[in-house]
């Protein structure tokens, strides 16, 4: 028997964490991907990752107890294939500490969060379909000649990135290379088949210290990651029902709020063209940056109070835009 594994709950290669910042602010995308700067609050990011890890192991073991599921291309029905939830968090924290990220102080809160989560749902009537499932969409044409974002079996011809000068990808930007397909990847937190209607839903965990009000699902509706979820879900599952926001409060009163994310069908239909245009805009700017035709100040900035100072506080790059690169020297 092999040792139990730790599930990878990290970002996918060209997921919305890669594309999303560019739809907010080109300069923010440049700083995150090309300059490799990190602006997310360390405590919030760490606790969110620990919450995702403990939930992933809980649902993976539950799926095995329900009869098994496909994980990374293999059928798994032994709960011991995965580390138990508490052990998984300890191992995740150990690995992050070796990398220099403080994680141990947040273990107790994550354990308490999980205990309260189980108290609110001691019995699960829904069936687990997938946990931390990786999927991919490619820009191009399907077998009917329609342009869009398609999973492999529906893709007839990929639309390649046309940007001479990017024959080799820029470090940190693997998704933009001349003559290569333009892809949007996604790692589903959880996929469940609901007992109430027999349909399949993609769940997105949000472990938060902020609001879990009923408005949160509407606030997330236009977020591109949920459009990607829907586009993938409709192609992967014949009985696809939509996307569920699984909000988990990491402080008293430890609320769990599950909300259906409103569909945005018109926006979803435009996403392929949006990604195609944005990919070429970024690629051309990267070429000019590589050739030193432009400076860091040529990357367009949002310059908007709702973007630069949003509901979580000011953007992590605020001072870099306020005073320039010398602020970190």
pLDDT per position as a tens digit, 244-261: 999 999 999 999 999 999
Q: What is the CATH number of the domain that holds 281?
A: 3.90.320
In a domain? residue 318: no
d(CA 219, CA 310): 13
Q: pTM score > 0.85 for this model?
A: yes
| The predicted structure's pLDDT at residue 41 | 62
What is the per-residue pLDDT across 48-80, written as a single tens digit (0 to 9) for each?
999 999 999 999 999 999 999 999 999 999 999
Residue 63 located in a structural domain: yes
Q: Residue 174 has what pLDDT? A: 85
Q: Is residue 258 part of a domain?
A: yes
Q: C-alpha dihedral over 224, 175, 100, 46, to 10 degrees?
A: 10
Q: Which domain covers residue 289, as residue numbers? A: 16-294
Does residue 328 sit within a domain? no
Question: What is the rounded CA–CA span in Å between residue 197 and residue 10?
Answer: 31
Residue 319 lies in a domain: no
Both tokens of residue 246? Answer: 């699984």
**Max Cα–Cα distance, the chain, nearest Å:** 60
Q: Which residues contact 257 (CB under 8 A, 6 or more apart)?
A: 212, 213, 214, 216, 245, 247, 249
User: Which pLDDT belongs to residue 250?
Assistant: 93
- Domain-embedded: residue 268: yes
**Residue 312 domain-assigned (yes or no):** no
Instruction: Say how many domains are in the chain.
Output: 1
Which residues in the chain land under pLDDT 70?
1, 40-41, 327-329
Contact in structure between 264 and 221 (CB atoms under 8 Å): yes
Both tokens of 292, joined, read 């030193």
In 94-153 the beta strands, taken as DSSP E runs, fall at 127-142, 147-150
In a domain, 112, yes or no: yes
């Amino acid at each position: 028997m092999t040792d139990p594994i730790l599930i990878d709950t990290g970002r996918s290669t060209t997921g919305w964490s890669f594309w999303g910042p560019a739809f907010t602010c080109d300069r923010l995308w440049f700083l995150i991907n090309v300059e490799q700067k990190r602006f997310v609050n360390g405590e919030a990011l760490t606790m969110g990752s620990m919450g995702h890890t403990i939930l992933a192991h809980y649902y993976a073991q539950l799926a095995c107890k329900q009869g098994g599921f496909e994980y990374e291309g293999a059928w798994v029905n032994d709960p011991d294939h995965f580390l138990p939830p508490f052990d998984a968090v300890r191992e995740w924290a150990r690995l992050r500490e070796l990398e220099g990220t403080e994680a141990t102080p947040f273990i107790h809160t994550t354990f308490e969060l999980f205990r309260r989560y189980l108290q609110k749902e001691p019995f699960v009537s829904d069936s687990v379909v997938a946990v931390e499932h990786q999927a991919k969409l490619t820009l191009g044409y399907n077998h009917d000649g329609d342009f869009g974002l398609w999973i492999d079996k529906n893709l007839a011809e990929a639309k390649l990135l046309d940007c001479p000068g990017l024959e080799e990808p820029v470090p940190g930007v693997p998704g933009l290379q001349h003559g290569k397909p333009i892809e949007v990847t996604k790692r589903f937190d959880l996929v469940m088949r609901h007992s109430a209607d027999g349909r399949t839903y993609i769940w997105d965990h949000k472990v938060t210290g902020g609001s879990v009000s009923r408005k949160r699902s509407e606030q997330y509706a236009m977020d591109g990651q949920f459009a990607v979820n829907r586009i993938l879900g409709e192609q992967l599952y014949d009985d696809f029902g939509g996307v569920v926001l699984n909000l988990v409060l990491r402080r008293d009163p430890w609320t769990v709020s599950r909300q259906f994310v409103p569909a945005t069908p018109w926006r979803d239909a435009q996403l392929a063209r949006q990604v195609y245009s944005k990919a070429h805009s970024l690629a051309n700017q990267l070429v000019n940056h590589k050739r030193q035709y432009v400076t860091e100040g040529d990357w367009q900035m949002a310059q908007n109070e709702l973007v630069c100072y949003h509901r979580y506080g000011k953007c992590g790059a605020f001072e870099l835009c306020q005073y320039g690169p010398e602020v970190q020297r």
